Amino acid sequence: MASSPAPVSSAGIGLVGFDADDTLWRSEDYFVAAQSAFERIVGEYIDLDDARARQRLLAIEKSNLALFGYGVKGMALSMIEAAVDITGQRIDARHVHEIVSIAKDMLRHPVELLPGIREAVDAIAADYAIVLITKGDLFHQEAKVRQSGLADLFGRIEIVSEKDDATYHRVLKEFQLLPERFCMIGNSLRSDIAPVLRLGGWAVHMPYALTWAHELDAEIAPASRRRLREVDAPHALPDAVAALQRLARGQEGGTPMGGDEAAETP
């Protein structure tokens, strides 16, 4: 699902990346609903409050990430493992089948774009080359990208197993672009924001109403915060990117990349 990298401008930010889940369309809502269903199922076997069941499921999901990766299928396998563990292996086939059915429903859910996101992507694509960088199950993410109606706007689509410093470094190397010429837009501090800032890039954080606890685990260095903007809705994204572009070009306070902050870039 990737095309050749689009050409980028010669100064300032030349490439803007977008996260997909909970940045372009709703996603975490379905995971939260599945988690509630899981808590109901295990609650039929043991008197366990929802918070403790949720913590046990999260711990198992995190321990399985290296094996299953992100996405619905990995969550379903972790729910089955957690249900077996929590119920002392007493969960019956009927409830295992219900967990599988929950996962199938999640894989079939419609793609619902966030209000105003299409217009925001259009506006940013008019001024910058844009790339979609998302992680998760390949088949499911490909299906959601197709159904979104946004695929043609992106010069390239990257579906990756993890979004960390190494992944962004690889993508930018393929674009032959320095990190200080890249800006990432996303809802996850851990996956979308912190790695890009560590590399010396720019970022716009657009929090979603619901965020998986694992994605909240990130710290932003104080020296990197001038390269970060936060918005509360898609309509504010183009202005946020424009503000960062002015900073990148040294047109609005501070100095362009290459001064003190260059030391942060590996």
Residue 6 lies in a domain: no
Q: Which residues pair with 163 in a beta bridge?
A: none
Looking at the structure, tell me whether residues 49 and 80 fall in a common domain: yes
Q: Is residue 157 within 8 Å of 121, Cβ to Cβ?
A: no
Place of tokens 């183009």: 238
Give the CB-side neighbour count of residue 99, counting CA atoms within 13 A.
24
Calpha distance 128→16 (Å, rounded): 7
pLDDT (0 to 100) of residue 61: 83
pLDDT, tens digit, 9 for 90 and up, residues 16-29 = 999 999 899 988 88
pLDDT, tens digit, 9 for 90 and up, residues 99-121 = 999 999 888 888 999 999 999 99
Q: Is residue 23 within 8 Å of 192, Cβ to Cβ?
A: yes
pLDDT below 50 — which residues of the chain? Answer: 1-9, 254-266
- Which of 107, 140, 156 marks a domain boundary? 107
Looking at the structure, tell me whether residues 92 and 153 fall in a common domain: no
Residue 9 lies in a domain: no
- CB proximity list for 210: less than 8 A, separation 6 or greater: 22, 28, 29, 32
For residue 67, give its domain range. 28-107
Q: What is the side-by-side strand order in the sheet with 15-18? A: 156-160, 129-135, 15-18, 182-186, 202-205, 228-230
Residue 64 lies in a domain: yes
Calpha distance 182→245 (Å, rounded): 10
Looking at the structure, tell me whether residues 176 and 220 fall in a common domain: yes
Calpha distance 90→61 (Å, rounded): 20
Its pTM stands at 0.80
Instruction: Write the CATH number for 238.
Output: 3.40.50.1000
Gyration radius of the chain's alpha carbons? 20
- Which of 89, 107, 125 marks a domain boundary? 107
Looking at the structure, tell me whether residues 218 and 141 fall in a common domain: yes
pLDDT (0 to 100) of residue 215: 52
Residue 193: DSSP 8-state: I
Q: Comparing C-alpha atoms, which of 171, 173, 266 is closest to residue 184?
A: 171
pLDDT (0 to 100) of residue 154: 92
Q: Which amino acid is at 207?
A: P
Residue 67 lies in a domain: yes
- Which of 90, 107, 124 marks a domain boundary? 107
Q: Comparing C-alpha atoms, which of 35, 17, 58, 5 is closest to residue 187?
A: 17
Calpha distance 70→58 (Å, rounded): 12
